[in-house]
Structure 1
Amino acid sequence: MKYTLFVLLVTSFISIKAQNQNISVEKSTFGIQTGFLGIWAHNETKLTNSIALRSELGLDFGAFSENFEESVFVFLPAIIVEPRWYYNLNKRVSKSKRIDGNSGNFISIRTTYHPDLVIGSIPSHLNFISDISIIPTWGIRRNIGSHLTYETGIGLGFGHLFKEKNVYIKDINFLALNLHLRIGYRF
Protein backbone atom coordinates (compact mmCIF):
# COMPACT_ATOMS: atom_id res chain seq x y z
CA MET A 1 0.00 0.00 0.00
CA LYS A 2 2.81 2.42 0.91
CA TYR A 3 4.63 1.55 -2.30
CA THR A 4 1.49 2.18 -4.41
CA LEU A 5 0.90 5.53 -2.71
CA PHE A 6 4.54 6.52 -3.26
CA VAL A 7 4.40 5.59 -6.98
CA LEU A 8 1.12 7.52 -7.36
CA LEU A 9 2.61 10.67 -5.75
CA VAL A 10 5.79 10.51 -7.85
CA THR A 11 3.80 9.95 -11.04
CA SER A 12 1.52 12.90 -10.21
CA PHE A 13 4.51 15.14 -9.50
CA ILE A 14 6.20 14.17 -12.79
CA SER A 15 2.95 14.74 -14.68
CA ILE A 16 2.45 18.19 -13.14
CA LYS A 17 6.09 19.10 -13.81
CA ALA A 18 5.77 17.97 -17.46
CA GLN A 19 2.61 20.02 -17.91
CA ASN A 20 4.38 23.15 -16.56
CA GLN A 21 7.25 22.60 -18.99
CA ASN A 22 4.78 22.61 -21.91
CA ILE A 23 3.39 26.00 -20.88
CA SER A 24 5.14 28.38 -23.22
CA VAL A 25 4.84 31.40 -25.46
CA GLU A 26 4.24 30.55 -29.10
CA LYS A 27 7.19 29.70 -31.33
CA SER A 28 6.32 32.55 -33.69
CA THR A 29 3.27 34.74 -34.16
CA PHE A 30 2.52 37.47 -36.72
CA GLY A 31 -0.09 40.20 -36.69
CA ILE A 32 -1.13 43.76 -37.34
CA GLN A 33 -2.38 46.26 -34.79
CA THR A 34 -3.89 49.71 -34.84
CA GLY A 35 -4.54 52.25 -32.15
CA PHE A 36 -5.42 55.92 -32.00
CA LEU A 37 -1.78 56.83 -32.74
CA GLY A 38 -0.79 54.60 -35.66
CA ILE A 39 -0.64 51.20 -37.33
CA TRP A 40 1.98 48.47 -36.90
CA ALA A 41 2.93 45.00 -38.19
CA HIS A 42 4.60 42.74 -35.65
CA ASN A 43 6.27 39.39 -35.10
CA GLU A 44 7.00 37.66 -31.81
CA THR A 45 9.63 34.92 -31.73
CA LYS A 46 10.10 32.56 -28.79
CA LEU A 47 13.41 32.87 -26.94
CA THR A 48 12.49 30.84 -23.83
CA ASN A 49 9.22 29.39 -22.48
CA SER A 50 8.25 32.78 -21.03
CA ILE A 51 10.28 35.29 -23.09
CA ALA A 52 9.52 36.38 -26.65
CA LEU A 53 11.31 38.92 -28.84
CA ARG A 54 8.81 41.28 -30.47
CA SER A 55 9.81 43.25 -33.55
CA GLU A 56 7.57 45.85 -35.17
CA LEU A 57 7.50 48.06 -38.21
CA GLY A 58 4.90 50.76 -38.20
CA LEU A 59 3.73 54.29 -38.61
CA ASP A 60 3.34 56.49 -35.53
CA PHE A 61 0.93 59.40 -35.86
CA GLY A 62 2.22 62.87 -35.11
CA ALA A 63 0.57 66.27 -34.92
CA PHE A 64 1.87 69.72 -34.09
CA SER A 65 0.90 73.32 -34.52
CA GLU A 66 2.89 76.48 -35.10
CA ASN A 67 1.59 79.38 -33.05
CA PHE A 68 -1.76 77.57 -32.73
CA GLU A 69 -2.73 78.71 -36.24
CA GLU A 70 -2.26 75.77 -38.60
CA SER A 71 -2.05 72.14 -37.52
CA VAL A 72 0.21 69.67 -39.29
CA PHE A 73 -0.47 65.92 -39.24
CA VAL A 74 2.20 63.40 -40.24
CA PHE A 75 3.13 59.74 -39.97
CA LEU A 76 6.56 58.80 -38.65
CA PRO A 77 8.07 55.41 -39.54
CA ALA A 78 8.94 53.43 -36.41
CA ILE A 79 11.25 50.46 -35.91
CA ILE A 80 10.65 48.71 -32.59
CA VAL A 81 12.45 45.86 -30.83
CA GLU A 82 11.02 44.65 -27.54
CA PRO A 83 11.93 41.59 -25.47
CA ARG A 84 8.84 40.59 -23.46
CA TRP A 85 8.65 38.44 -20.35
CA TYR A 86 5.18 36.87 -20.02
CA TYR A 87 5.22 36.30 -16.28
CA ASN A 88 1.78 34.81 -15.60
CA LEU A 89 1.38 31.99 -18.14
CA ASN A 90 1.30 29.21 -15.50
CA LYS A 91 -1.29 31.08 -13.44
CA ARG A 92 -3.49 31.64 -16.51
CA VAL A 93 -3.33 27.95 -17.45
CA SER A 94 -4.13 26.87 -13.87
CA LYS A 95 -7.27 29.06 -14.05
CA SER A 96 -8.18 27.59 -17.49
CA LYS A 97 -7.55 30.90 -19.27
CA ARG A 98 -6.15 31.19 -22.80
CA ILE A 99 -2.45 31.74 -23.52
CA ASP A 100 -2.56 31.21 -27.29
CA GLY A 101 -1.15 34.09 -29.30
CA ASN A 102 0.94 35.00 -26.23
CA SER A 103 -2.09 36.14 -24.29
CA GLY A 104 -0.98 37.22 -20.83
CA ASN A 105 0.63 39.93 -18.74
CA PHE A 106 4.13 41.05 -19.69
CA ILE A 107 7.05 43.22 -18.68
CA SER A 108 9.25 44.48 -21.50
CA ILE A 109 12.00 46.87 -22.52
CA ARG A 110 10.62 48.70 -25.56
CA THR A 111 13.25 50.23 -27.84
CA THR A 112 11.87 52.50 -30.57
CA TYR A 113 13.79 54.23 -33.36
CA HIS A 114 12.26 56.94 -35.55
CA PRO A 115 14.48 57.64 -38.58
CA ASP A 116 14.72 61.11 -40.10
CA LEU A 117 11.69 60.48 -42.36
CA VAL A 118 8.23 62.00 -42.42
CA ILE A 119 5.23 60.73 -44.37
CA GLY A 120 3.15 63.81 -45.02
CA SER A 121 4.00 67.40 -45.72
CA ILE A 122 5.67 69.72 -43.27
CA PRO A 123 6.64 73.38 -43.75
CA SER A 124 10.02 73.78 -45.47
CA HIS A 125 11.55 75.59 -42.49
CA LEU A 126 10.96 72.62 -40.18
CA ASN A 127 13.22 69.59 -39.86
CA PHE A 128 12.33 66.29 -38.22
CA ILE A 129 15.18 64.89 -36.11
CA SER A 130 15.56 61.14 -35.62
CA ASP A 131 15.31 59.76 -32.11
CA ILE A 132 15.56 56.60 -30.04
CA SER A 133 13.75 55.71 -26.82
CA ILE A 134 14.18 52.89 -24.32
CA ILE A 135 11.15 52.38 -22.09
CA PRO A 136 10.53 49.67 -19.47
CA THR A 137 6.85 48.78 -19.96
CA TRP A 138 4.15 46.76 -18.21
CA GLY A 139 1.26 45.51 -20.32
CA ILE A 140 -1.39 42.92 -21.07
CA ARG A 141 -2.52 41.15 -24.22
CA ARG A 142 -5.81 39.28 -24.53
CA ASN A 143 -7.65 37.42 -27.29
CA ILE A 144 -11.10 38.28 -28.60
CA GLY A 145 -12.26 35.21 -30.47
CA SER A 146 -9.77 33.23 -32.53
CA HIS A 147 -7.80 35.96 -34.35
CA LEU A 148 -8.60 39.35 -32.80
CA THR A 149 -6.49 40.70 -29.94
CA TYR A 150 -6.31 43.76 -27.78
CA GLU A 151 -3.29 45.07 -25.94
CA THR A 152 -2.54 47.86 -23.54
CA GLY A 153 0.65 48.98 -21.87
CA ILE A 154 2.28 51.76 -19.92
CA GLY A 155 5.88 52.69 -19.27
CA LEU A 156 8.24 55.56 -18.60
CA GLY A 157 11.82 55.70 -19.83
CA PHE A 158 14.61 57.58 -21.60
CA GLY A 159 14.70 59.21 -25.04
CA HIS A 160 17.52 60.72 -27.06
CA LEU A 161 17.46 63.02 -30.12
CA PHE A 162 20.24 62.59 -32.67
CA LYS A 163 21.69 66.07 -33.16
CA GLU A 164 22.19 67.23 -36.73
CA LYS A 165 24.57 69.84 -38.15
CA ASN A 166 23.39 73.45 -38.01
CA VAL A 167 20.49 72.57 -35.70
CA TYR A 168 20.29 73.96 -32.19
CA ILE A 169 18.68 71.65 -29.67
CA LYS A 170 18.41 72.82 -26.09
CA ASP A 171 18.17 69.32 -24.63
CA ILE A 172 18.89 66.16 -26.62
CA ASN A 173 17.77 63.81 -23.81
CA PHE A 174 14.15 63.59 -22.70
CA LEU A 175 11.68 61.62 -20.61
CA ALA A 176 9.77 59.20 -22.86
CA LEU A 177 6.28 57.81 -22.20
CA ASN A 178 4.82 54.65 -23.70
CA LEU A 179 1.06 54.59 -23.31
CA HIS A 180 -0.68 52.37 -25.80
CA LEU A 181 -4.09 50.81 -26.41
CA ARG A 182 -4.30 48.68 -29.54
CA ILE A 183 -6.61 46.25 -31.27
CA GLY A 184 -5.22 43.79 -33.78
CA TYR A 185 -5.50 40.75 -35.98
CA ARG A 186 -3.26 37.71 -35.49
CA PHE A 187 -2.46 35.53 -38.53
Structure 2
Amino acid sequence: MRIPPFLMTLFVLTGSILPANAQNGINDIDLPVVQQLHKIKLSLLGLTYQWEKPVSRKSVITLEGGVAGGMSFSAGSISGTAFRYAIVPEIGIGFRNYYNLDKRFKKGKKIDNNAANFIATDVFINGNPILSSGNITAREAVGLTAAWGMQRSLSSKVNFEWQAGVIGGTDFEDWVIAPNLRIAFSLIAGKKRTN
Protein backbone atom coordinates (compact mmCIF):
# COMPACT_ATOMS: atom_id res chain seq x y z
CA MET A 1 0.00 0.00 0.00
CA ARG A 2 1.33 3.41 -0.98
CA ILE A 3 1.00 6.32 1.49
CA PRO A 4 -0.04 9.62 -0.16
CA PRO A 5 2.74 12.28 0.03
CA PHE A 6 0.61 14.80 1.97
CA LEU A 7 -0.09 12.18 4.71
CA MET A 8 3.61 11.31 4.91
CA THR A 9 4.48 15.03 5.24
CA LEU A 10 1.83 15.45 7.96
CA PHE A 11 3.17 12.41 9.82
CA VAL A 12 6.78 13.69 9.66
CA LEU A 13 5.82 17.20 10.80
CA THR A 14 3.64 15.90 13.63
CA GLY A 15 6.36 13.50 14.73
CA SER A 16 8.95 16.27 14.83
CA ILE A 17 6.72 18.65 16.83
CA LEU A 18 5.23 16.30 19.45
CA PRO A 19 8.47 14.90 20.88
CA ALA A 20 9.81 18.43 21.51
CA ASN A 21 6.82 19.29 23.68
CA ALA A 22 6.92 15.90 25.43
CA GLN A 23 10.60 16.33 26.30
CA ASN A 24 9.89 19.61 28.09
CA GLY A 25 6.96 18.09 29.97
CA ILE A 26 4.68 20.74 28.45
CA ASN A 27 1.62 20.07 26.33
CA ASP A 28 -0.69 22.53 24.60
CA ILE A 29 -3.02 22.67 27.62
CA ASP A 30 -0.16 23.98 29.77
CA LEU A 31 0.93 26.72 27.34
CA PRO A 32 0.10 30.32 28.32
CA VAL A 33 -2.60 32.51 26.86
CA VAL A 34 -2.66 36.29 26.63
CA GLN A 35 -4.79 38.23 29.09
CA GLN A 36 -7.54 40.71 28.43
CA LEU A 37 -6.19 44.04 29.71
CA HIS A 38 -7.64 47.49 30.31
CA LYS A 39 -4.77 50.01 30.45
CA ILE A 40 -4.31 53.72 30.96
CA LYS A 41 -1.14 54.59 29.01
CA LEU A 42 1.07 57.60 29.64
CA SER A 43 3.70 58.44 27.03
CA LEU A 44 5.90 61.45 26.40
CA LEU A 45 3.16 63.27 24.48
CA GLY A 46 0.02 61.31 25.14
CA LEU A 47 -2.54 59.84 27.49
CA THR A 48 -4.78 57.06 26.20
CA TYR A 49 -7.01 54.22 27.29
CA GLN A 50 -6.21 50.87 25.62
CA TRP A 51 -8.11 47.59 25.67
CA GLU A 52 -6.35 44.38 24.66
CA LYS A 53 -8.94 41.75 23.71
CA PRO A 54 -7.60 38.22 23.03
CA VAL A 55 -8.52 36.72 19.66
CA SER A 56 -6.20 33.70 19.88
CA ARG A 57 -3.80 32.19 22.39
CA LYS A 58 -1.02 34.71 21.60
CA SER A 59 -2.81 37.54 19.77
CA VAL A 60 -4.99 40.47 20.74
CA ILE A 61 -7.04 43.16 19.06
CA THR A 62 -6.36 46.58 20.58
CA LEU A 63 -8.81 49.46 20.84
CA GLU A 64 -7.35 52.79 21.92
CA GLY A 65 -8.57 56.33 22.44
CA GLY A 66 -7.32 59.53 24.04
CA VAL A 67 -4.86 62.27 23.17
CA ALA A 68 -1.63 61.58 21.33
CA GLY A 69 1.25 63.78 20.33
CA GLY A 70 4.00 63.99 17.84
CA MET A 71 7.03 66.15 17.28
CA SER A 72 9.59 66.79 14.59
CA PHE A 73 12.78 68.71 14.10
CA SER A 74 14.15 69.81 10.75
CA ALA A 75 17.17 71.76 9.63
CA GLY A 76 17.94 73.11 6.19
CA SER A 77 20.22 75.67 4.60
CA ILE A 78 17.29 77.63 3.15
CA SER A 79 14.56 77.24 5.78
CA GLY A 80 16.77 77.18 8.88
CA THR A 81 15.80 75.03 11.83
CA ALA A 82 12.28 74.24 12.99
CA PHE A 83 10.85 72.30 15.93
CA ARG A 84 7.19 71.31 15.61
CA TYR A 85 4.75 69.50 17.86
CA ALA A 86 1.04 68.77 18.00
CA ILE A 87 -1.29 67.08 20.48
CA VAL A 88 -4.43 65.65 18.91
CA PRO A 89 -7.41 63.49 19.87
CA GLU A 90 -6.90 59.99 18.51
CA ILE A 91 -8.77 56.70 18.23
CA GLY A 92 -7.38 53.50 16.80
CA ILE A 93 -7.76 49.78 16.32
CA GLY A 94 -4.89 47.37 15.99
CA PHE A 95 -3.57 43.82 16.12
CA ARG A 96 -0.71 42.45 18.24
CA ASN A 97 0.91 39.04 18.19
CA TYR A 98 3.00 38.24 21.29
CA TYR A 99 5.25 35.89 19.37
CA ASN A 100 7.70 34.92 22.17
CA LEU A 101 5.13 34.27 24.90
CA ASP A 102 5.81 30.51 24.88
CA LYS A 103 9.59 30.97 24.93
CA ARG A 104 9.40 33.28 27.97
CA PHE A 105 7.00 30.87 29.72
CA LYS A 106 9.25 27.84 29.12
CA LYS A 107 12.26 29.75 30.49
CA GLY A 108 10.30 30.64 33.64
CA LYS A 109 10.23 34.37 32.84
CA LYS A 110 7.37 36.62 33.93
CA ILE A 111 4.49 36.76 31.41
CA ASP A 112 1.84 38.51 33.56
CA ASN A 113 0.11 41.46 31.87
CA ASN A 114 1.13 40.09 28.45
CA ALA A 115 4.84 40.62 29.15
CA ALA A 116 6.39 39.54 25.86
CA ASN A 117 7.77 40.83 22.57
CA PHE A 118 5.23 41.61 19.87
CA ILE A 119 4.68 42.62 16.29
CA ALA A 120 1.82 45.04 15.76
CA THR A 121 -0.13 47.05 13.27
CA ASP A 122 -2.58 49.87 14.04
CA VAL A 123 -5.03 51.98 12.05
CA PHE A 124 -5.75 55.36 13.63
CA ILE A 125 -7.77 58.54 13.10
CA ASN A 126 -6.58 61.91 14.46
CA GLY A 127 -8.73 65.00 15.00
CA ASN A 128 -7.72 68.66 14.77
CA PRO A 129 -4.90 69.65 17.17
CA ILE A 130 -5.80 70.56 20.73
CA LEU A 131 -2.36 72.13 21.17
CA SER A 132 0.38 72.75 18.59
CA SER A 133 3.37 74.89 17.73
CA GLY A 134 2.63 77.99 15.68
CA ASN A 135 4.45 76.66 12.62
CA ILE A 136 2.40 73.48 12.16
CA THR A 137 -0.63 72.97 9.95
CA ALA A 138 -1.96 69.68 11.32
CA ARG A 139 -5.47 68.61 10.36
CA GLU A 140 -7.62 65.52 10.72
CA ALA A 141 -5.68 62.50 9.46
CA VAL A 142 -5.80 58.75 9.10
CA GLY A 143 -2.82 56.47 9.20
CA LEU A 144 -1.27 53.06 9.66
CA THR A 145 1.64 51.93 11.81
CA ALA A 146 3.67 48.74 11.61
CA ALA A 147 5.94 48.05 14.57
CA TRP A 148 8.00 45.65 16.63
CA GLY A 149 8.06 46.12 20.37
CA MET A 150 8.07 44.69 23.85
CA GLN A 151 5.87 44.97 26.90
CA ARG A 152 7.16 44.17 30.38
CA SER A 153 5.33 43.96 33.68
CA LEU A 154 6.99 46.16 36.33
CA SER A 155 4.40 45.15 38.95
CA SER A 156 0.92 43.64 39.04
CA LYS A 157 -0.50 47.08 38.12
CA VAL A 158 2.21 48.74 35.97
CA ASN A 159 3.62 47.86 32.52
CA PHE A 160 6.48 49.39 30.57
CA GLU A 161 6.21 49.29 26.78
CA TRP A 162 8.17 50.49 23.81
CA GLN A 163 7.77 49.96 20.11
CA ALA A 164 9.60 51.06 16.99
CA GLY A 165 8.49 50.95 13.40
CA VAL A 166 7.08 52.96 10.53
CA ILE A 167 4.07 55.24 10.40
CA GLY A 168 2.27 56.36 7.27
CA GLY A 169 -0.64 58.76 7.13
CA THR A 170 -2.56 61.33 5.18
CA ASP A 171 -4.78 64.34 5.79
CA PHE A 172 -6.10 63.73 2.24
CA GLU A 173 -3.88 66.50 0.87
CA ASP A 174 -0.40 65.36 1.90
CA TRP A 175 1.07 61.90 2.56
CA VAL A 176 3.74 61.24 5.18
CA ILE A 177 5.89 58.18 5.89
CA ALA A 178 8.21 58.45 8.89
CA PRO A 179 9.96 56.40 11.56
CA ASN A 180 7.89 55.89 14.69
CA LEU A 181 9.05 55.36 18.29
CA ARG A 182 6.71 55.03 21.25
CA ILE A 183 7.66 54.64 24.91
CA ALA A 184 4.93 54.37 27.54
CA PHE A 185 4.03 53.31 31.04
CA SER A 186 0.61 51.74 31.58
CA LEU A 187 -1.54 51.48 34.67
CA ILE A 188 -3.47 48.21 34.53
CA ALA A 189 -7.07 49.19 35.25
CA GLY A 190 -8.38 45.64 34.92
CA LYS A 191 -7.34 42.25 33.58
CA LYS A 192 -8.80 38.86 32.95
CA ARG A 193 -7.02 35.58 32.19
CA THR A 194 -8.47 33.96 29.07
CA ASN A 195 -8.63 30.16 28.95
User: Could you state the TM-score of these two structures normalised by the residue count of structure 1?
Assistant: 0.74
Structure 2: distance between partners of 1:120 and 1:175 = 22
- Indicate the RMSD between aligned Cα atoms, in angstroms: 3.1
**Aligned pairs (5 A) from 1:1-187:** 13=22, 16-20=26-30, 22-26=31-35, 28-62=36-70, 74-115=86-127, 117-120=128-131, 128-163=138-173, 172-187=174-189
Detail structure 1 runs of 4+ shifted over 6 Å in the superposition.
none
Q: Using the alignment, how far apart are the partners of 2:84 and 2:168 within structure 1?
A: 26
SS in 1 for 2:104: helix
TM-aligned CA deviation for residue 158 of structure 1: 2.3
> What letter corresponds to residue 130 of structure 2 in structure 1?
I
5+ long unaligned stretches in structure 2: 1-18, 74-78, 190-195
**Cα pair 2:41 2:47 within 8 Å, conserved:** yes
8 A contact 2:86–2:138 mirrored in 1 = no
Task: Give the letter for the 2:62 counterpart.
Answer: R
**Distance in 2 of aligned mates of 1:98 and 1:177:** 30
**Equivalent residue pairs, number:** 163
User: Partners of 1:96 and 1:63 in 2: how far apart?
Assistant: 39
**Identical residues among aligned pairs (%):** 24
Cα–Cα, structure 1 residues 72 and 88, in superposed 2: closer, same or farther, change >3 Å?
closer
Which secondary structure does the structure 1 equivalent of 2:114 belong to? coil
Q: Which amino acid aligns with 2:126?
A: H
The question of whether the paired residues in 1 share the 8 Å contact of 2:141 and 2:170 is answered with yes
Q: 1:72 to 1:17 in 2, by over 3 A?
A: closer
Stretches of structure 1 lacking an aligned partner (at least 5 in a row)? 1-9, 164-171
One-letter code of the match for 1:180? R
Question: Aligned partners of 2:108 and 2:87: how far apart in 1?
Answer: 41
- Amino acid corresponding to residue 94 of structure 1 in structure 2: K
Q: Tell me, yes or no, if the aligned pair for 1:64 and 1:73 is still in contact at 8 Å.
A: yes
- For residue 177 of structure 1, report the CA deviation from its aligned partner: 2.8
What is the match of residue 168 of structure 1? none
What SS class does the counterpart of residue 28 from structure 2 fall into?
Answer: helix
Deviations 1:43-101, CA, capped at 9 Å, x for gaps:
00000001101111021135689x99xx8865300112110000001101111112121
Give the SS at the match of 1:91: helix
**TM-score between both structures, scaled by the size of structure 2:** 0.71
Q: Is the 8 A contact 1:158 1:176 kept in 2?
A: yes
| Further displaced range: 127-136 or 35-44 | 127-136
